[in-house]
Amino acid sequence: MRENAGSQATAPQRAVREKVSGKKSVGKPGLLRKTGKGMPDADVLVIGGGAAGMMAACSAAEAGARVMLLEKNEKAGKKIYITGKGRCNFTNACDPEDFLSHVPCHASFLYSSVYGFDPAAVIAWFEEHGCRTKVERGNRAFPQSDHASDITKALERAMRESGVQIRLHSEAARILFPGQQDETEREDVSLTDDSEHCGEKAADRADVQQVDRRKVTGVCLSDGTVLSARAVVIATGGLSYPTTGSTGDGYRLAEKAGHTVEPCSPSLVPLCCAEEDLSEMQGLSLKNVTLRIFNGKRKAWDGFGEMMFTHFGVTGPLVLTASADLADCLRKGQLKAEIDLKPALPELKLDERILRAFEQNPNKEIRNVAPEVYPQKMVPVLLRRCRIDPQKVVNSITKAERARLVYETKHFSFTITHPGSFREAVVTHGGVRVREVDPGTMESRKTAGLFFAGEVLDVDAHTGGYNLQIAWSTGRAAGLGAAAYAKGQSKEAE
């Protein structure tokens, strides 16, 4: 374990800290300025108090905008608290080029935002805001304390210092647009039944949505409160871990603003399998194995690493990565898979290894000798698949039986029926179509003043801190973009 702690820091870690160029941009805490008559409630409204939303709020405020963050939960950062099993692997300390290689789909969309706020800059940002960090195996970055709460505290501290107003228990029900009062020209963007009275207050303030004009004027909350703003950032997350408040609100808001939402499915998720014997090995972890997955006769994916059997199928780093890379294939139907339990040994060498174990224990039953080569929990399943009596003495094992054991070792097969649910998924695959969003500012190409950040976008990555890095990078770009847009609108209004 390597720690970013004072003189103990390694040269690469010191380079990471020094990556951020210039001084920290603190801007002016705009909310300290009183709003005059006719001024909006905020320059920038950020919907969603997760990783991307809080970073967007900090960035917009540091750029001088008056910022209000809306969070429907009782506290911000609920999903951050459970990431990395409570430790929060908040980024991966690799270079941007390596980072983008871990984004299976639409990596080019992230080029500008990731290079603008890369992993080294993210680490330095958290260090500057009071969160000591460390980098572990695989370049995974964590708070030095191993407490995810330190990440949230740093974000909350930054928002507080830059004057961000945080409204908890505030659910955005619709985005407001300028338009005519005529009902035939009004576009309903209601998300919940209890927000139907939003239209009344919106009409009173002439903030009724008119999608055709493509310009936001604010947000209406589910309790009917109308908040005006020059820019709105949607950072509501996806559909994974719905208990944290990720219930797809942003997708509905985006669709009503004229955006296309690509089909959503769970990603970085365990995979469910058809074979019942896998459940007999529940909890068994396999290390240094090769997993291959086939779509028909074509090999669709392979990888080397660790995985684990569960009561419903398989999980672990290898499986989660495969679920991200094969999200579209998994949505279409079943896939065949196989594990090479001994990838370092060709079949001939493997046969020699098994023979050696047999020769050393010629009079023992195979069920008692096989654990020298295989995990104990896997032995009954392997022998059954090879049609070998577990009580058979090894000196009577035939060459054909041994050949079947070698083959099963190199091709332990199973059928993937479907991915797990959003309750088990780390992230969401799918979301707002990225071609409809400016990659430099995260502004909508369809609606002026509307910005997106984080998991609501159709980008997701492998496990290892990459998805939170997407949240930080896109959140930073959206916050700065929204602040710049709001400043331009303010000048026009003068």
Long-range own/partner contacts, residues 422-425 (CB < 8 A, 24 or more apart): 422/239, 422/240, 422/241, 422/242, 422/266, 423/241, 423/242, 423/243, 424/266, 424/269, 424/270, 425/239, 425/240, 425/241, 425/266, 425/267, 425/268, 425/269
Please name the amino acid found at residue 368: N
2-265+427-493 carries CATH number 3.50.50.60: yes
Q: What is the DSSP string of 30-86?
A: GGGSPP-TT--SEEEEEE--SHHHHHHHHHHHHTT--EEEE-SSSSS-HHHHHGGGG
Condensed to tens digits (0 to 9), the pLDDT of residues 381-434 reads 999 999 999 999 999 999 999 999 999 999 999 999 999 999 999 999 999 999
Which residue matches tokens 């409160």?
A: 225
Condensed to tens digits (0 to 9), the pLDDT of residues 451-492 reads 999 999 999 999 999 999 999 999 999 999 999 999 999 877
Condensed to tens digits (0 to 9), the pLDDT of residues 341-389 reads 999 999 999 999 999 999 999 999 999 999 999 999 999 999 999 999 9
State the DSSP H helix or E strand holding residue 100, giving kind and residue range, or none if neither. Answer: helix 96-100
Distance CA 242, CA 250 (A): 13
State the DSSP H helix or E strand holding residue 370, giving kind and residue range, or none if neither. Answer: none
**What mean pLDDT value characterizes the chain?**
87
The pLDDT score that the predictor gives to residue 14 is: 42
Q: Is 292 exposed, middle or buried (0-12, 13-18, 19+ CB in 10 A)?
A: middle
Distance CA 86, CA 333 (A): 33
Condensed to tens digits (0 to 9), the pLDDT of residues 292-324 reads 999 999 999 999 999 999 999 999 999 999 999
User: Mean pLDDT across the stretch 73-78?
Assistant: 94
The pLDDT score that the predictor gives to residue 241 is: 84
Distance (Å) of CA 149 to CA 55, 85, 144, 153, 272: 15, 12, 11, 6, 32
Q: 37 pLDDT band (50/70/90 cuts)?
A: low
The pLDDT score that the predictor gives to residue 413 is: 98
- Structure-model confidence comparison of residues 31 and 412, the more confident one: 412
Predicted TM-score (pTM) above 0.75: yes
Distance CA 107, CA 77 (A): 25
3-state helix/strand/coil string of 212-253: HHCECCEEEECCCCEEEEEEEEECCCCCCCHHHCCCCHHHHH
CB-CB contact of 148 with 81 (8 Å)? yes
The pLDDT score that the predictor gives to residue 211 is: 39
Q: 20 pLDDT band (50/70/90 cuts)?
A: very low
The pLDDT score that the predictor gives to residue 268 is: 95
Across the strands, what pairs with 258?
Answer: none
Q: Give the residue from 261, 270, 249 showing the smallest Cα distance to 430.
A: 261
Fold of 270-420: Helicase, Ruva Protein; domain 3 (1.10.8)
Q: Is 366 exposed, middle or buried (0-12, 13-18, 19+ CB in 10 A)?
A: buried
**Could you give the residue range(s) of every CATH 1.10.8.50 domain in the chain?**
270-420
Distance (Å) of CA 378 to CA 291, 351, 460: 16, 18, 34
The pLDDT score that the predictor gives to residue 79 is: 92
Q: 178 pLDDT band (50/70/90 cuts)?
A: confident
The pLDDT score that the predictor gives to residue 491 is: 78
Condensed to tens digits (0 to 9), the pLDDT of residues 131-140 reads 999 999 999 9
With 50 as the cut, is the pLDDT of residue 13 above it?
no
**Could you give the residue range(s) of every CATH 3.50.50.60 domain in the chain?**
2-265+427-493
DSSP letter at 23?
A: S
User: Mean pLDDT across the stretch 214-238?
Assistant: 95
Condensed to tens digits (0 to 9), the pLDDT of residues 428-457 reads 999 999 999 999 999 999 999 999 999 999
User: Mean pLDDT across the stretch 158-165?
Assistant: 97
